[in-house]
Amino acid sequence: MKKPELLVTPKKVEDISRLIKAGATAILIGEEKYGLRLAGEFNRDDIKEAVKIAHDFGAKVYVAMNALFHNDKLELLPDYISFLSESNVDAIVFGDPAVLMVAREVAPEMKLHWNTETTATNYFTANYWKEKGAKRAVMAREINMDSIVETKENADGEIEVQVHGMTCMFQSKRTLIGNYMEFQGKDLKVEGRSKDRTLFLHDPERDAKYPIFEDENGTHIMSPNDICIIDELEDMLDAGVDSFKIDGVLKSVEYIEKVTALYKDAIDLYLEDPDAYQDKKYYYIQEIEKIQPMNRKLDTGFFFKETVY
């Protein structure tokens, strides 16, 4: 049974070595201009430094280019992709076919991971993008465990699954928060783009708070709970899922470091002794609940069709 990659999202360069020492074997970074809902902003100098640090530890670096690109941004793609290739980035994460087409021209050796966050729901689609040149498909967050396993069993390329963290429920290119504040006669600096990200939509009926923020790509509304599947990894490990992602959006490095270490321990334990993993499941959940933010419950997302937002 192969060991899956453990992919995490650092907030800044200084976090990288900590997260790799905790167990991460790959990191996902990028610039807001090209990537969606990043844990932190990494400019070109940061990306170069991130590659150096990660590669020294034997870890991989993926850069997010999964934004939706309009015509006015297409001219930026060749230079950026060439830069990533020259910086020895291990793969580009994309959703827009424009990225794939430009990469073919300027960096044909660059590995590509297809991620639209919502439309990777079956193995035919995964295999379609494999034929087009994507090494990996990132599965949608809204499909269940059986579908993930079936997809992996029939996929020609790699499969990535998010196992921990918040997910995006809604995105609009419109600056909805800014428009609302303006309507209310209030001044909201969307410049710097609400980096503290402390705004919430509150649903008193469900007692749920949905984080909401704006950036260069528009408005994003996030899930009120965090996925946590640390005690349900068996089926995906048995199926050979290639990459488990821990999303660190709106989380501290201390939180991601602890969660990464727990997932590494859980994966290693199951591969070594499945019965011991069964016995330790409750411990893993307890340890994560100790550091979980008060306003964010843990759930299993759509893995077992239990969550309704």
Query: What are residue 7's phi and psi, to 5 degrees?
Result: -100, 125
What pTM did the predictor assign?
A: 0.88
**Tell me, what's the pLDDT at 208?**
72
Least confident of 18-32, 43-57, 184-198, 282-296: 184-198
Q: Which band of pLDDT confidence, cut at 50, 70 and 90, is reported for residue 132?
A: very high
Least confident of 6-20, 104-118, 233-247: 104-118
CATH class, 5-165+230-299 region? alpha beta
Least confident of 84-88, 175-179, 266-270: 175-179
Contacts of 154 (CB under 8 A, 6+ apart): 123, 127
DSSP string, 119-187: S--SHHHHHHHHHHT-SEEEPPTTS-HHHHHHHHHH-SSEEEEEEEE--EEEEESS-HHHHHHHHTT--
User: What average pLDDT score do residues 272-293 get?
Assistant: 97
**Tell me, what's the pLDDT at 101?**
97
User: What average pLDDT score do residues 87-97 get?
Assistant: 97
Q: Which band of pLDDT confidence, cut at 50, 70 and 90, is reported for residue 191?
A: very low
Least confident of 41-50, 218-227, 247-256: 218-227
Q: Is residue 76 pLDDT above 70, yes or no?
A: yes
User: What average pLDDT score do residues 244-265 get?
Assistant: 95
Least confident of 125-129, 209-213, 254-258: 209-213
**Tell me, what's the pLDDT at 192?**
40
Q: Which of the pair, 13 or 224, is modelled with greater confidence?
A: 13
The predicted-structure confidence for 212-227, as pLDDT tens digits, reads as follows 777 777 777 777 788 9
- How do the domains of the chain map onto residue ranges? 5-165+230-299, 170-221
User: What average pLDDT score do residues 192-200 get?
Assistant: 54
**Tell me, what's the pLDDT at 236?**
97
**Tell me, what's the pLDDT at 202?**
64
**Tell me, what's the pLDDT at 194?**
46
Q: Which of the pair, 178 or 287, is modelled with greater confidence?
A: 287
